[in-house]
Amino acid sequence: MMTDTNVDVAGTGISLGVTLYSFTNEWWSRQYDLTGLVAEVAGRGLGPGVEIVGFQSLRTFPEVDADSVSLWRGLVDRFGIVPTCLGSNVDVALRADRSLDRDEMVDYLNRQLDTAAALGFPVVRIQIGADPAVIERCLARAEKHGIRMGMEIHAPESAVSPAIMRVREFYESVDSPLLGFIPDFSSTMRRVPEGVLADLRARGLSEGAADGLTQAWLSPGNQFANFGAWAEASRAAGEPDDAVGAATLVFTMHGRAAAETWAELAPRIVHVHGKCYEFDEVGDEPSIDYPSIATVLVDSRYQGWISTEWEGHVFAPPGTVDAFDVVASQQALLRRSLTAAAG
Amino acid sequence: MTSVTDRLISPGDAVVAAADRTLVPVRVPWYRSLPLSCWESVAVTLDGQRFGVDQLELRLGDATIPCTELAAKHETFWFVQDTGWLVVPATLDATQVELRVEAEIRIPYILIGPDKALVRHVQDGGTLPVVRSGEQ
């Protein structure tokens, strides 16, 4: 294995790995099956931590059959990877006729916890669609398996947004070591990724409107109100509907909270999503302040995994970017940032 | 060039012309598998002739399902790497066809209001080759 440098980076207790979600383009394009993808990740030294999204990587999810369990466990042994986190989904709007009720959500999540246990994942990512009542009722299953449930904090939520504050209060009241958070760097960004803006320009958005969008994103106040005002003005100015509609993602995928807010959660962080989009010529990520985030994680003594999560598939079509190279760049930046923070 | 979340058709795929119908290859325009109930609508246009949801069937694996019944299929997942086939009641004689596929896809975990999930309108198409099938 070439992944030793990703384990316990600079003595911080933080180790690196990747979510297979980073390879969405290659996966959707059927360039790899699960064995091939894990082999490539291991061969390029992008582990040892490996995270998956159940509904992406596993055909029979939320269930797994014995053959799938045997295949996965065989990959873990053969390639020396470490299963870190399984991404569950709380598909509240699964049905066309109505939302799932709490009983159905509990059952849906419990089935995914069972699958995580069968595959050897110690952490399951849960999403904001699971309210405290659902989480509380799933806790018994998590305890049975010894699995930690981590609520992902993803843009537009942040460590201090009202919905997450409600979860924090609930966690305090239950105080179980199996309940925690998964910060995603997308919540604490400093710039809209250039690839996202380039995609909007390709949809016909003018330079002026793109600048206005960036300004709206950087402005204080309610982000959805900022977007609404920009969208209304842009449509009135004749900007293409498709481009204005697609720009919604700027506000749902990229948040501007301060990196320091992660420190408040530190004792309850069970896993981390190291989001990235693009790298400049010196290997920095212009849209995310990696050194600041690394400092917060090291100073607050987070011990655990960070999964590299490249989300460029939303603007970069298959074949245009080598996702494995991007992941390698992110891990190099993270190692530099963690080492500097530890020094 | 289109990102995968805006693609309903795999580059290089061909339309299949059978004796009494046409099969259009379709993909899930998202990063993960979704249940069939998330396909809120679908339409196919072949050389300018449009076929709506009540005229189409979806063939996925061994199953063939009228598209009007997809809404009830919330326990059947369409694996993100699989091609499904929209069965269109039309015959094609040419070696290529001008194809357009449109769909409304509900993203079941992205909530944008109380009891309201994000619905994405996706359209894809182009000139595709037509291959003949001997199937009936």
Contact at 8 Å (CB) between A330 and A308? Answer: yes
Q: Does residue B125 sit at the A interface (CB-CB below 8 Å)?
A: no
Are B18 and B135 a contacting pair, CB within 8 Å?
yes
**Are B118 and B106 contacting, i.e. CB atoms less than 8 angstroms apart?**
yes
From the candidates A145, A154, A254, A273, give the one annotated as an active-site residue: A154
pLDDT, tens digit (0-9, with 9 covering 90-100), for A174-229: 999 999 999 999 999 999 999 999 999 999 999 999 999 999 999 988 888 999 99
Asked if residue B136 has pLDDT above 60, the reply is no
**Strand-strand pairing, A304-310 and B116-132:** unpaired
B interface mutation test: which of A19, A32, A91 has the most B CBs within 10 A? Answer: A91
A98 inside 8 A of chain B by CB:
yes
- Which residue of B1, B80, B106 is in closest CB contact with A93? B106
Q: Does A313 contact B108 at a Cβ distance shorter than 8 Å?
A: no
Rounded to a whole number, what is the distance in Å from the CA of B42 to chain A's nearest CA? 15
Q: How confident is the model at residue A161 (pLDDT cuts 50, 70, 90)?
A: very high
Domains of chain A: 4-192+254-342 (3.20.20.150), 194-251 (no CATH)
B93/chain A closest Cα distance in angstroms:
29
Q: What is the mean pLDDT of residues A30-51?
A: 98
Nearest to B109 among A127, A252, A315 (CB): A127
pLDDT band at B114 (very low <50, low <70, confident <90, very high): confident
Phi, psi of A318, rounded to the nearest 5 degrees: -55, 140
Three-class HEC string of A90-124: CCCCCCCCCCCCHHHHHHHHHHHHHHHHHHCCCEE
Give tens-digit pLDDT for A258-314.
999 999 999 999 999 999 999 999 999 999 999 999 999 999 999 999 999 999 999
pLDDT of B1 > 80? The answer is no
- Which chain B residues are Cβ-neighbours of A91 within 8 angstroms? 35, 108-109
Q: Report residue A44 as tokens.
A: 């390029």
Query: Which residues are within 8 A (CB) of B10 and not within 5 positions of it... i.e. 6 or more apart?
Result: A29, A30, B25, B27, B83
The whole-angstrom separation of Cα A19 and Cα B14 is: 32
Q: Residue A291: enclosing H or E segment and its boundaries?
A: helix A290-299
Q: Which of A28, A310, A321 to mutate to test the interface with B (most CBs of B within 10 A)?
A: A28
Would you call A313 and B1 a contact, using CB atoms and an 8 Å cutoff? no
For chain B, say whether A185 makes contact (Cβ under 8 Å): no
On the CB side of A150, CA atoms within 13 Å amount to 27
CB contact under 8 A, B35 and A91: yes
The CA distances from residue A77 to A47, A67, A256, B7, B17, in Å, are: 13, 15, 40, 36, 46
| Confidence at residue B2, expressed as pLDDT on a 0 to 100 scale | 84
Q: How far is B79 from chain A (nearest CA, A)?
A: 6
Contact B81 A28 (CB under 8 A): yes
Please give the structure tokens belonging to residue A96: 């066309």
